[in-house]
Chain A
């Protein structure tokens, strides 16, 4: 069954259809919101709001104009933007993204801590980018969209995506300069500090 059919049935009150649709789309929406806001709470809130908005706007979705994934991404983008605007004045950013997946390979305590710190720094640096660079970096580097897909999602040219990525990477490299120093220090501390 296609996403559009599932959405129609879900809007009509079919809970099973909604569950299937939610399972299909939730990961993309949640991760996008998480990378954009660097906040798990905001990502959860965004995800819930996106799905409720999706149900409310089910009638306005036209499958001939694009797939449901793109439609949902548009909703997610608007919701995330609104939540960011709302939270900007109240919250110091990037301080609640502390819980990550436990790595598959066993790590030493120091290595694990440094890895967590590094990941947090990277996310913080990404979340601190201006929005248009952040969108490009999140879509292409974190959500692993192709340039063409990202361009379609953001409704701009592929060349624009490419230039935004270059600029975004340059800004990130500037912000993450400290990371290199930390890494050198850890490496100098001995075998336990190996990060690779």
Chain B
């Protein structure tokens, strides 16, 4: 038996040695010292085990007191959290109800013949009139030179009377302005397009009742694609 084998053996077999190990022990001083040390250590461990302190009664009492404290704390937390949880649940339900109602409201019934119509015309918000100096600064995108010359000529003209401006805003040819128009914003070529829309889709309700719920309208559309004015056609 080698020293390594002996050491592996002694760590497993503790103090009971077989014949091979005993024979090696007699001839090897190093292993004898190690075996002696192991023997001493074993006794030391036994002594340390025997003299280990018992769990003190004060610790038992302290742990049980901590347990009771924890129980009370948990009960308190539950008591506090219960109404909070109910409130949160109620709020959640209320929110869900509001969302449901608003979702249904947004899906209003559509007339049956709406599917036969074309897309409703694009309606833009009326633009606010800009002050003159701001309007001069604002450069409309890709405006033709002709229009610029027109604007320049318009600037050189004497200002129109208020009655004339009113007439421009509400022309007498049956068209109703959909946005503010002046030579600056409504200059250039225009197109008139005839469309068919559901009667409910336009603000201008005709006095006569359309037979199929649809009305025809002429829309003045600028080169930028924005509708300028509309006229109901009977």
- Residues of A whose CB lies within 8 Å of any CB of B are 10, 13, 15, 18-19, 22, 26-27, 30-31, 34-35, 40, 43-44, 47-48, 51-52, 55, 97, 99-101, 103, 115-116, 118-119, 122-123, 126, 141-142, 144, 162, 165-166, 169, 172-173, 176, 179-180, 196
Would you give the shortest CB distance from A10 to chain B, in whole angstroms?
A: 8
Chain B interface, number of residues (Cβ within 8 angstroms) = 34
The CA-CA distance from A196 to B46 in the complex, in Å, is 12
0 or 1 for each of B23-58: is its CB under 8 Å from A? (1 = yes) = 000000000000001101111110111111111101
Q: Is the CB of A101 within 8 A of B66?
A: no
Assess the A48–B52 pair: CB atoms within 8 A.
Answer: no
Known: A15-B71, A18-B67, A166-B7. A100 touches B55 (CB 8 A): no
Using A13-B71, A15-B68, A47-B59 as known contacts, say yes or no to A122 and B52 having CB atoms under 8 A apart: no
Asked if A101 and B50 make an inter-chain contact with CB atoms under 8 angstroms apart, the answer reads yes
Q: A169-B38, A180-B40 are in contact. Are A30 and B59 (CB under 8 A)?
A: yes
- In the bound complex, residues from chain A placing their C-beta under 8 Å from that of B52 are 31, 34-35, 100-101, 142
Q: What are 27 A-B pairs at a CB distance below 8 A?
A: A18-B64, A18-B67, A26-B60, A27-B55, A30-B55, A44-B59, A48-B63, A51-B67, A52-B70, A100-B51, A100-B52, A101-B50, A101-B51, A101-B53, A115-B47, A115-B51, A118-B44, A123-B48, A141-B41, A142-B49, A165-B11, A166-B11, A169-B41, A176-B40, A176-B41, A179-B40, A196-B43
Contacts of A40 in B (CB 8 A): 53
Q: Decide: A141 near B53, CB < 8 A? Known: A15-B68, A180-B40.
A: no
A122 to B60, CA, bound (A): 27
Q: Is B62 an interface residue (CB 8 A)?
A: yes
Chain A neighbourhood of B70, CB < 8 A: 52, 55
What is the bound-complex CA distance between A94 and B147, given in angstroms? Answer: 99
- The yes or no answer to B74 lying at the interface (CB within 8 A) is yes
Contacts of A173 in B (CB 8 A): 37, 40-41
Complex: A55 Cα to B70 Cα, angstroms: 9
> Are A48 and B53 touching (Cβ within 8 A)?
no
Q: Select which of A52, A99, A122, A166 is within 8 A of B66 by beta carbon.
A: A52
Contact in complex: A34, B53 (CB < 8 Å): yes
Residues of B within 8 A of A35 (CB): 48, 52
Whether A122 contacts B47 by the Cβ 8 Å rule is: yes
How many angstroms from the CA of A30 to the CA of B11 in the assembled complex?
A: 27
State the Cβ distance, A30 to closest chain B Cβ, in Å: 5
Q: Kindly report which residue of chain B lies nearest to residue A13, judged by CB atoms.
A: B71
Across the interface, B55 reaches (CB within 8 A) one of A18, A47, A99, A162, namely: A47
Contact check, B44 vs A122: say whether CB atoms are below 8 A apart: yes
Closest to B47 in A: A119
Distance between B84 CB and nearest chain A CB, rounded to angstroms: 21
> Residues of A contacting B60 with CB < 8 Å?
22, 26
Cβ of A124 to closest chain B Cβ, rounded Å? 11
CB contacts under 8 Å to A, within B135-179, are none
Q: CB-nearest residue of chain A relative to B44?
A: A122
Whole-angstrom distance between the Cβ of A34 and the nearest chain B Cβ: 6
Shortest CB-to-CB span from A117 to chain B, Å, is: 11
Q: CB within 8 A of B48: which of A26, A27, A119? A: A119
A118 x B47 contact (CB < 8 A): yes
Nearest residue (CB) in B for A30 is B55
Q: Is the CB of B74 within 8 A of A99?
A: no
Could you tell me if B56 and A103 are in contact, using CB atoms closer than 8 angstroms?
no
- Give CA–CA (A68, B42) in the complex, Å: 30
Q: Which residues of A contact B74 (CB under 8 A)?
A: 13
